[in-house]
């Protein structure tokens, strides 16, 4: 077993944590942040259960353990801001407001699915909620978010595009091209690295020239170094609000590295045995949901208030899951539609 | 009518559409003040200014990614990838992202964008700046593929591509940029997906694309003069949508089809056209369909080497006349 390095210990993740002062209950919509994280957690767990029942096919990449990033950002974004996420995107899609039924339905290939079963787990998209797509090719969506930001700048709408990606993305060329162009054109785009310390099955530190794969590269694009505890939802919400406001004001892009940890493997195929047990244990103690629950209790929030949020989320998952399960299978006709804007798939006369 | 070069027709089409629709924006390497390395965007920066005509870094991923993000949020970007060979640098967007978005999202998103690129050989640039890669694009569901052979179509088809609601890969041929012809004045739009019959003959049909079209036309004249072989010449103009109606109608009449393709042999567009003709016109055929292509090699740079491998007028004449010799003997 590999000894845990400073990078891989949770203590390294406190570099720029926002302080939770006594007025924190007023500064943050605490119950909304907590509720969002509980919903994401329970829905992701249900995804996992549905795999085990063989109702979700193919693959899936769960965000268990990374909920604070989705909740913190979504809580700070304007409804018309754009989210671009990766194949690990269930949490962002839900956090922006897509219903659990539409997400679970998509995973199960149901008619009620967000994409009518044509996209699946890795491509969740809900334009009406600002979720402009989940992208399954590492790094692809960073330039696309740049384009959406360019469009927002051109149209003068004040919208901001937010691209979420993993630590592994920082080593692919699209990362560099997107960051450079966004900085040169001063575009309203926020790049958010969810550094969960592993690019698929390999420790990111073993394949990266710098310790903090996103933050340490910010200076290359003339951007401020931003590193935050990605398991502290208020810290995330704080830095998100700051970066979004800057981007909206015309100050240009931001690059934020959120340190976090996935509770499970890269995908359903991965038992994640490459991670040292002590490291896993240390991070599980810093479960973002457990941490936040305790913080709220310490601040005097009633246990019963949190319990009722927990119960409501559990009920929502149960109902959504049952409704999605009983929704008809996506119609086969959909496979032969909508390649082109006219709805057809014709390529010849 | 104005006598325009193919390159000026390209910029005229973009200007026409930018003036008509302020959602149309242009970006690419050296497209703004420099007017493009092939001078196909001259004057646009001066006319429409820096917010609508933008230079990018040498970042093909960022260029196509930005076009895609802009297209899904209300703009109609026209982007230039300087040489079609460079599409390989941003192939993820060409193959995985742009064409699949509408389908994968079950119609939630459409991407009205045009990727313009300088394609093809004959200008001695060597193997990495001369390829004819329209077949790469044709193999991908979700892309419209256009390749004009003349200035008039460069304007009309590009205008249609910009108005099209779907992604279009628009291949401009490097060897044609300086060719000139009369282009209709005023608004000029040629619908996508319609081949053009340039000459109607009775013995054989020759289907060609882009720079092979003028060669096919010249070959047809020589075949008539020297061999008394009367051929139709069809300019396909678009590979997707593919106008098979026009091709099969003519082949049913002539009974013979020759394709003239600049691309290397394997999986050229002619293979698909030949396959469809076999399926749909088999009993009308007098002889097998014959494909005239470049050999299956990278393109060499030197004059005599490149000329030896690209389908020439003489090669078309020789191939058609030899293939039809038995038919003439029988007659």
Inspect the interface and report whether the beta carbons of A155 and B69 lie closer than 8 Å.
Answer: no
CATH architecture of A30-326: 3-Layer(aba) Sandwich (3.40)
CB within 8 A of A179, min separation 6: which ones?
A142, A191, A217, A220, A221, A223, A253, A255
For the record, the structure tokens of A202 come out as: 């390999």
Q: State yes or no: pLDDT of A227 exceeds 50.
A: yes
**Residue where one domain finishes, among candidates B149, B183, B217:** B183
Q: State yes or no: pLDDT of A19 exceeds 90.
A: no
Known catalytic residues of B are 129
Inspect the interface and report whether the beta carbons of B69 and A341 lie closer than 8 Å.
Answer: no
CA A43 → CA A13, A86, A96, A214, A237, distances in Å? 26, 18, 14, 29, 21
Q: Are residues B230 and B166 in the same domain?
A: no
Q: Are residues B149 and B220 in the same domain?
A: no
Q: Are residues B178 and B234 in the same domain?
A: no
Residue numbers in B near A347 (CB within 8 A): 141, 240-242
Specify the CATH number for the domain of residue B262.
3.40.50.920
pLDDT in tens, A204-218: 999 999 999 999 999
Contact A259, A227 (CB under 8 A): yes
List the domain range (segments joined by +) for residue B163: 2-183
Q: What band does A26 get if pLDDT is binned at 50, 70 and 90? A: confident
User: What burial class does residue B265 get, using C-beta atoms within 10 Å of its C-beta: 0-12 exposed, 13-18 middle, 19+ buried?
Assistant: middle
**Residue where one domain finishes, among candidates B134, B149, B183:** B183
Backbone angles phi, psi at A202, to 5 degrees: -120, 135
Q: Give the gap in angstroms from C-alpha A139 to the nearest C-alpha of chain B.
A: 10
B74 is a domain residue: yes
Rounded average pLDDT over A42-70: 95
Q: State yes or no: pLDDT of A23 exceeds 90.
A: no
Sheet holding B290-294, edge to edge: B196-199, B231-235, B204-208, B257-264, B290-294
Inspect the interface and report whether the beta carbons of A127 and B93 lie closer than 8 Å.
Answer: no
- Per-residue model confidence (pLDDT) at position B136: 96
Q: Give the gap in angstroms from C-alpha A341 to the nearest C-alpha of chain B.
A: 6
Residue numbers in A near B106 (CB within 8 A): 114-116, 118-119, 334, 338
Q: State yes or no: pLDDT of A5 exceeds 50.
A: no
**Residue where one domain finishes, among candidates B158, B183, B208:** B183
Q: Are residues B49 and B149 in the same domain?
A: yes
Q: State yes or no: pLDDT of A4 exceeds 80.
A: no
Domain count of chain B?
2
pTM of the model: 0.95
B252 is a domain residue: yes
- Per-residue model confidence (pLDDT) at position A18: 46
* Residue A58 Ramachandran class (φ > 0 left, ψ -120 to 50 alpha, else beta): left
Q: What band does A24 get if pLDDT is binned at 50, 70 and 90? A: confident
Q: Give the gap in angstroms from C-alpha B66 to the nearest C-alpha of chain A.
A: 3
B188 is a domain residue: no
In chain A, % of residues over pLDDT 90: 89
B190 is a domain residue: no
ipTM, two decimals, is: 0.96
- Per-residue model confidence (pLDDT) at position A21: 55
Residue numbers in A near B68 (CB within 8 A): 143-144, 147
Chain A, window 105-124: residues with a beta carbon less than 8 angstroms from a chain B beta carbon: 114-116, 118-119, 123
Assess A336–B contact: CB distance below 8 Å, yes or no. no
- Per-residue model confidence (pLDDT) at position B99: 98
- Tell me how far apart the alpha carbons of residues A193 and B66 are, in angstroms, rounded to a whole number: 19
Chain position carrying tokens 């050296």: B30
Q: Are residues B160 and B37 in the same domain?
A: yes
- Per-residue model confidence (pLDDT) at position A13: 44
Residue numbers in B near A149 (CB within 8 A): 69
- Tell me how far apart the alpha carbons of residues B133 and B142 are, in angstroms, rounded to a whole number: 16
CA-based nearest residue to B54, from A151, A259, A316, A298: A151
Specify the CATH number for the domain of residue B76.
3.40.50.970
Nearest to B59 among A125, A132, A181 (CB): A181
**DSSP letter assigned to residue B96:** I
B124 is a domain residue: yes
Rounded average pLDDT per 10-residue block, chain B, 331 residues: 96 98 98 97 98 98 98 98 98 98 98 98 96 96 98 98 98 98 95 98 98 98 98 98 98 98 97 98 98 97 97 98 74 46
Q: Are residues B167 and B107 in the same domain?
A: yes
Q: What band does A16 get if pLDDT is binned at 50, 70 and 90? A: very low
Task: Return the residue of B nearest to A128 by Cα.
Answer: B108
pLDDT in tens, A76-110: 999 999 999 999 999 999 999 999 999 999 999 99
Range with the poorest average pLDDT among A15-24, A44-53, A191-200: A15-24
CB pairs under 8 A between A and B: 160
Q: Are residues B32 and B89 in the same domain?
A: yes
Chain A, window 151-180: residues with a beta carbon less than 8 angstroms from a chain B beta carbon: 151-152, 154-155, 161, 173-174, 177-178, 180
Q: State yes or no: pLDDT of A17 exceeds 50.
A: no
Residue numbers in B near A158 (CB within 8 A): none
- Tell me how far apart the alpha carbons of residues B135 and B296 are, in angstroms, rounded to a whole number: 13
B189 is a domain residue: no
Q: Are residues B143 and B73 in the same domain?
A: yes
B257 is a domain residue: yes
Residue numbers in B near A125 (CB within 8 A): 104-105, 108-109
Inspect the interface and report whether the beta carbons of A181 and B71 lie closer than 8 Å.
Answer: no
Inspect the interface and report whether the beta carbons of B57 and A180 lie closer than 8 Å.
Answer: yes
B22 is a domain residue: yes
């Amino acid at each position: 077993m590999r000894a845990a390095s400073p990078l891989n210990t949770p203590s390294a993740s406190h570099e720029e944590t926002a302080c939770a002062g006594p007025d924190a209950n007023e500064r943050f919509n605490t119950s909304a942040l907590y509720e969002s994280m509980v919903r994401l957690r329970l829905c992701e767990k249900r995804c996992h259960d549905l795999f085990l029942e063989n109702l979700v096919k193919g693959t899936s990449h769960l965000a268990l353990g990374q909920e604070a990033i989705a909740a913190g950002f979504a809580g700070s974004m304007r409804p018309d801001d754009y989210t671009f996420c990766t194949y690990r995107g269930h949490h962002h899609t839900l956090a922006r407001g897509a219903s659990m039924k539409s997400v679970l339905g998509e995973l199960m290939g149901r008619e009620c699915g967000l994409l009518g079963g044509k996209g699946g787990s890795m491509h969740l998209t809900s334009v009406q909620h600002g979720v402009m797509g989940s992208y399954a090719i590492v790094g692809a969506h960073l330039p696309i978010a740049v384009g959406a930001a360019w469009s927002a700048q051109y149209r003068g709408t004040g919208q901001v595009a937010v691209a979420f990606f993993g630590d592994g993305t920082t080593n692919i060329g699209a990362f560099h091209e997107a960051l450079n162009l966004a900085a040169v054109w001063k575009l309203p785009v926020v790049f958010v690295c969810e550094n969960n310390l592993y690019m698929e099955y390999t420790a990111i530190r073993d394949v990266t020239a710098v310790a903090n794969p996103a933050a340490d590269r910010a200076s290359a694009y003339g951007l401020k170094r931003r590193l935050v505890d990605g398991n502290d939802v208020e810290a995330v919400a704080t830095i998100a609000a700051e970066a979004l406001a800057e981007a909206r004001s015309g100050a240009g892009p931001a690059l934020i590295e959120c340190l976090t940890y996935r509770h499970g493997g890269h995908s359903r195929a991965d038992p994640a045995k490459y991670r040292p047990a002590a490291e896993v244990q240390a991070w599980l103690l810093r479960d973002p949901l457990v941490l936040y629950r305790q913080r709220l209790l310490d601040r005097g929030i009633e246990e019963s208030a949190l319990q009722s949020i927990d119960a409501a989320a559990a009920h929502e998952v149960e109902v959504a899951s049952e409704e999605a399960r009983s929704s008809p299978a996506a119609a086969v006709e959909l496979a032969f539609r909508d390649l082109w804007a006219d709805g057809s798939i014709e390529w010849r006369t | 009518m104005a006598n325009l070069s193919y390159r000026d027709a390209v910029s005229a089409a973009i200007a026409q559409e930018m003036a008509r629709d302020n959602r149309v924006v242009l970006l690419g390497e050296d497209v703004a003040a420099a007017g493009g390395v092939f001078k196909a965007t001259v004057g646009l920066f001066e006319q429409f200014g820096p917010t609508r005509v933008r230079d990018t870094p040498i970042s093909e991923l960022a260029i196509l990614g930005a076009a895609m993000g802009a297209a899904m949020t209300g703009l109609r970007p026209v982007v230039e990838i300087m040489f079609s060979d460079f599409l390989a640098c941003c192939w993820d967007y060409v193959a995985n992202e742009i064409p699949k978005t509408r389908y994968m999202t079950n119609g939630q998103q459409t991407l009205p964008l045009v990727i313009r690129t300088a394609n093809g050989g004959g200008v001695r640039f060597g193997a990495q700046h001369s390829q004819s890669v329209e077949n790469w694009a044709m193999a991908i569901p979700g892309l419209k593929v256009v390749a004009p052979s003349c200035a008039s179509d460069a304007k009309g088809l590009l205008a249609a591509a910009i108005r099209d609601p779907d992604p279009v890969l628009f291949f401009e041929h490097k060897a044609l940029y300086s060719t000139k012809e009369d282009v209709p004045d005023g608004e000029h739009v040629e619908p996508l997906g319609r081949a053009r019959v340039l000459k109607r003959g009775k013995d054989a049909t020759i289907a060609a694309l882009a720079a092979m079209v003028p060669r096919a036309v010249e070959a047809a004249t020589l075949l008539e003069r020297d061999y008394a072989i009367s051929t139709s010449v069809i300019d396909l103009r678009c590979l997707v949508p593919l106008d098979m109606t026009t091709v099969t109608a003519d082949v049913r009449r002539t009974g013979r089809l020759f394709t003239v393709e600049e691309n290397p042999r394997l999986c050229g567009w002619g293979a698909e056209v030949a396959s469809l003709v076999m399926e749909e016109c088999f009993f009308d055929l007098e002889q097998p369909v014959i494909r005239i292509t470049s050999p299956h090699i990278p393109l060499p740079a030197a004059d005599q080497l490149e000329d030896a491998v690209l389908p020439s007028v003489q090669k078309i004449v020789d191939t058609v006349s030899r293939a039809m010799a038995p038919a003439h003997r029988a007659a």
